[in-house]
């Protein structure tokens, strides 16, 4: 019963089409019931011929033709195909909702779950429903009709009825033995496939590093090991399926031979009619077909349960809860950020921020510096709610950011990282993701402000240039400037720079500094930096140590009064020499 609970969440995806599904299932069931008369009509026609009653034989064969051609082959096939359309629609909804759930997962989920597992849950597992409903309906209809048929058989020959019951009982025992084995084997193989997908994804994204580091052989060795593990899993499933089908096939053959032999003996002694004997040559195949369908579907069903369980982990928040947002929206945002007694530590790590307090005001270039691991970048993760504080609160214009709606929070805060993510689309399409109605003139306005338009216009395809996976066709500085231009298009009031210039050459760094100076005019600009040379002109610099603000001032002021800042600056100066 526990396994059937995995199907319950599907109800909300079925609700919209439930009337159509019920209608189609009713027709399929009616078509299945009509097949009950097939064997009888053939048997009656043959017996009528032996008794020289040609008219009755012709009528029986004509009714058989109408039943088979119009109801089974015509209406039945049409209805099954219509049901497959509904299944495809439901699978699409399920896949979309799974993708939506992934985008709402908390940040720590992506540290625990591999990219391959996430991709497979959304792309493969969510599409596993296709063609399932039609098959289930056919099997259920067959079970009901064969159950009805059983009473007809029992009425005419209880010997045949007992044979059928015994062999079906053996089949149920077989299912009970093999079902858990096949389910477990499939779960193991799925986990191995997740690892393989992760490896391929990483290889595609890091192809340049793979080539320059000369690690192709190492990755191929790892890939070979993964595929070998998957192959072992496939062989395990194939062996289980083989053994299951061999035994199932033996039981089907046993039923056919047993029923035919019993029927022949009873017909010889006049215990059954020719009509019933001929009918049984058809009806026995309904039972053996049902057994074969159950055999095959059992294998598919175990895969389906595993897939649904993996999808439901996402849909029902069984692994991680969605990030929750408030319903407040900011209007005429000023961009004042306040940290009030903030305490935070990453999962399974020591506390990073300890009663952290800081107020950041707009229209100034604010910089945050400190040794590595002191919580500088953590501040940005908390402002953007990639992680939530353990204690205390963060306010934007006096409103706790947890009370802001998702749209209001994301619209008003942007972050530009050391390695900004660029989508594998054209330059124009990267901006269309921000605003689908943005014009090329608006895009150019923002790229000019980020000192990137001249470069883009020098490209053969200009703004229709595809940037490659992760923006590989751009230099580090160009990525930064494109990220700044996207932020300008987004019109965020608060702009955060996380080590944005630490890995750039002097020329690129100068462009970024100019872009930042342009932003300061009417934005809240906060910079986290390792290279102090990039922020010496900041209006206010805050020094973080041991999870707290220990000093603040301009560059010149801090050189005079802050030992930590002095040490950082002198260390950087000696490194440059």
Instruction: Establish if 462 belongs to a structural domain.
Output: no
Say yes or no: 501 and 548 in one domain.
yes
Mean of the per-residue pLDDT values of the chain: 78
* Residues 83, 365: Cα–Cα separation, whole Å: 61
What digits encode the pLDDT tens for the residues 225-250? 878 887 887 888 888 888 888 888 88
What digits encode the pLDDT tens for the residues 483-509? 888 888 888 888 888 875 555 566 666
Print burial letters for 485-517: b (CB count within 10 Å at least 16), e (below 16): bbbbbbebbbbbbbbbbeebeeebbebbbebbe
Whichever domain contains 535, its CATH number is 3.40.50.300
Pick from 9-23, 71-85, 207-221, 527-541 the range whose average pLDDT is largest.
527-541
Q: Determine what percent of the chain is predicted with pLDDT higher than 90.
A: 2
At 251, the pLDDT band (50, 70, 90 cuts) reads confident
Task: Name the residue among 321, 319, 316 with its Cα closest to residue 7.
Answer: 316
What digits encode the pLDDT tens for the residues 352-380? 888 888 888 888 888 888 877 777 778 88
Which residues, 6+ apart, have CB-to-CB distance to 176 below 8 Å? none
Q: Is the pLDDT of residue 133 over 70?
A: no
Whichever domain contains 99, its CATH number is 1.20.1560.10
Place of tokens 């306010």: 395
Say yes or no: 406 and 284 in one domain.
no
What digits encode the pLDDT tens for the residues 443-463? 898 888 888 888 889 988 999
Helix extents (H) in 104-215: 109-112, 115-123, 132-156, 158-205, 207-213
| 17 or 59, which is more confident | 59
At 1, the pLDDT band (50, 70, 90 cuts) reads very low
Say yes or no: 130 and 269 in one domain.
yes
Say yes or no: 304 and 414 in one domain.
no
Q: What is the pLDDT of residue 530?
A: 73
Say how many domains are in the chain: 2
H/E run at residue 260: helix 216-268
Instruction: Establish if 480 belongs to a structural domain.
Output: no
Mean per-residue pLDDT, 184-188: 78
Instruction: Establish if 329 belongs to a structural domain.
Output: no
Planar angle of CA 142, 146, 152, nearest 5 degrees: 155
Task: Name the residue among 356, 394, 415, 389 with its Cα closest to residue 545.
Answer: 356
Say yes or no: 136 and 221 in one domain.
yes
Instruction: Establish if 193 belongs to a structural domain.
Output: yes
Which residues, 6+ apart, have CB-to-CB distance to 217 below 8 Å? none
| 188 or 572, which is more confident | 188
Query: 385-389, 396-400, 467-471 — which is least confidently predicted?
Result: 467-471
What digits encode the pLDDT tens for the residues 262-283? 888 888 888 888 888 888 877 7
Query: Length of the chain in residues, anyone?
Result: 577
- CB 531 within 8 Å of CB 504: no
Instruction: Establish if 304 belongs to a structural domain.
Output: yes
pTM of the model: 0.64
Helix extents (H) in 389-475: 406-412, 427-432, 440-449, 453-457
Q: Are strands 494-498 and 413-417 parallel, antiparallel or unpaired?
A: parallel
Mean per-residue pLDDT, 253-269: 86
Instruction: Establish if 473 belongs to a structural domain.
Output: no
Say yes or no: 289 and 364 in one domain.
no
At 6, the pLDDT band (50, 70, 90 cuts) reads low
DSSP bridge pairs for 524: 494
Written as six digits, the tokens of 39 are 């064997």
Rg from Cα positions in the chain: 35
Q: What is the pLDDT of residue 575?
A: 52
Q: Are strands 494-498 and 365-370 parallel, antiparallel or unpaired?
A: unpaired
- CB 309 within 8 Å of CB 6: yes
Q: Is the pLDDT of residue 577 over 50?
A: no
* Residues 201, 210: Cα–Cα separation, whole Å: 13
By the 10 Å C-beta count (0-12 exposed, 13-18 middle, 19+ buried), 304 is classed as buried
Instruction: Establish if 505 belongs to a structural domain.
Output: yes
Q: Is the pLDDT of residue 99 over 80?
A: no
Q: What is the pLDDT of residue 206?
A: 63
CA distances in angstroms from 39 to 56, 174, 283, 345, 513, listed in the order given: 15, 29, 6, 73, 86
Say yes or no: 227 and 307 in one domain.
yes
Say yes or no: 309 and 351 in one domain.
no
- CB 282 within 8 Å of CB 146: no
* Residues 336, 362: Cα–Cα separation, whole Å: 6
Mean per-residue pLDDT, 92-107: 75
What digits encode the pLDDT tens for the residues 314-341? 777 776 676 778 888 888 888 889 999 9
Edge-to-edge strand ranges of the sheet holding 337-345: 351-360, 337-345, 391-396, 399-400
Say yes or no: 371 and 276 in one domain.
no
Say yes or no: 306 and 204 in one domain.
yes
Q: Is 230 strand, coil or helix?
A: helix
Q: What is the pLDDT of residue 400?
A: 92
What digits encode the pLDDT tens for the residues 520-571? 778 888 888 777 777 888 889 888 888 888 888 888 888 888 888 888 777 7
Instruction: Establish if 444 belongs to a structural domain.
Output: no
Q: Is the pLDDT of residue 131 over 60?
A: no
Say yes or no: 304 and 412 in one domain.
no
Say yes or no: 42 and 123 in one domain.
yes
Q: Is 422 strand, coil or helix?
A: coil
* Residues 378, 556: Cα–Cα separation, whole Å: 26
Mean per-residue pLDDT, 214-229: 76
* Residues 480, 463: Cα–Cα separation, whole Å: 17
Structural domain of 530 = 337-422+493-576
């Amino acid at each position: 019963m526990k396994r059937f609970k995995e199907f319950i969440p599907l109800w909300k995806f079925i609700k919209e089409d439930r009337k159509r599904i019920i209608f189609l299932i009713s027709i399929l069931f009616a078509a299945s019931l009509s097949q009950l008369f097939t064997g009888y009509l053939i048997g009656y026609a043959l017996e009528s011929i032996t008794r020289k009653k040609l008219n009755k034989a012709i009528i029986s064969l004509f009714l058989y033709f109408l039943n088979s051609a119009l109801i089974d082959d015509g209406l039945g096939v049409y209805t099954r195909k219509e049901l497959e359309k509904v299944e495809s629609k439901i699978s699409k909804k399920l896949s979309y909702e799974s993708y939506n759930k992934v985008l709402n997962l908390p940040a720590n989920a992506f540290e625990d779950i591999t990219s391959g597992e996430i991709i497979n849950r959304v792309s493969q597992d969510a599409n596993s429903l296709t063609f399932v409903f039609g098959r289930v309906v056919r099997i259920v209809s067959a079970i009901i009709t064969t159950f009805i048929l059983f009473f007809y058989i029992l009425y005419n020959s209880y010997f045949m009825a007992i044979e059928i019951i015994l062999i079906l009982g053996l089949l149920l025992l077989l299912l009970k033995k093999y079902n858990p084995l096949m389910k477990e084997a499939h779960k193991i193989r799925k986990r191995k496939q997740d690892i393989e997908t992760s490896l391929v994804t990483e290889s595609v994204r890091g192809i340049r590093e793979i080539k320059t580091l000369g690690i192709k052989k190492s990755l191929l060795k790892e890939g070979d090991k993964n595929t070998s593990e998957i192959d072992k899993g496939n062989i395990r499933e194939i062996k289980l399926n083989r053994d299951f089908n061999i035994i199932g096939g033996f039981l089907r053959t046993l039923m056919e031979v047993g029923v035919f032999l019993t029927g022949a003996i009873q017909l010889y002694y006049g215990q059954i009619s020719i009509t019933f004997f001929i009918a049984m040559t058809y009806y026995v195949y309904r039972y053996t077909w049902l057994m074969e369908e159950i055999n095959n579907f059992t294998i598919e069903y175990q895969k389906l349960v595993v897939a649904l369980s993996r999808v439901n982990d996402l849909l029902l928040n069984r692994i991680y809860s969605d990030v929750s947002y408030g319903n407040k929206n900011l209007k005429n945002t000023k961009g004042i950020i306040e940290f009030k007694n903030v305490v935070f530590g990453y999962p399974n790590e020591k506390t990073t921020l300890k009663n952290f307090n800081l107020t950041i005001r707009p229209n100034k270039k604010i910089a945050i510096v400190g040794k590595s691991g002191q919580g500088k970048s953590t501040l940005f993760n908390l402002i953007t709610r990639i992680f939530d504080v353990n204690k205390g609160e963060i306010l934007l214009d006096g409103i706790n950011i947890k009370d802001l709606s998702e749209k209001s929070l994301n619209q008003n805060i942007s972050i530009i990282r050391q390695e900004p993510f660029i989508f594998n689309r054209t330059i124009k399409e990267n901006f269309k993701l921000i605003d689908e109605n943005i014009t090329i003139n608006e895009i150019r306005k923002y790229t000019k402000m980020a000192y990137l338009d001249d470069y883009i216009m020098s490209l053969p395809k200009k703004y229709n240039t595809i940037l490659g996976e992760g923006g590989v066709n751009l230099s580090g500085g160009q990525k930064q400037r494109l990220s700044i231009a996207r932020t300008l298009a987004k019109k965020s009031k608060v702009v955060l720079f996380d080590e944005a210039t630490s890995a750039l050459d002097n020329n690129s760094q100068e462009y970024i500094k100019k872009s930042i100076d342009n932003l300061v005019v009417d934005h809240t600009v906060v910079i986290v930096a390792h290279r102090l040379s990039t922020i010496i002109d900041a209006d206010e610099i805050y020094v973080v140590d041991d999870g707290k603000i220990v000093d603040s001032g301009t560059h010149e002021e801090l050189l005079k009064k802050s030992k930590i800042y002095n040490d950082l600056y002198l260390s950087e100066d000696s490194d440059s020499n």
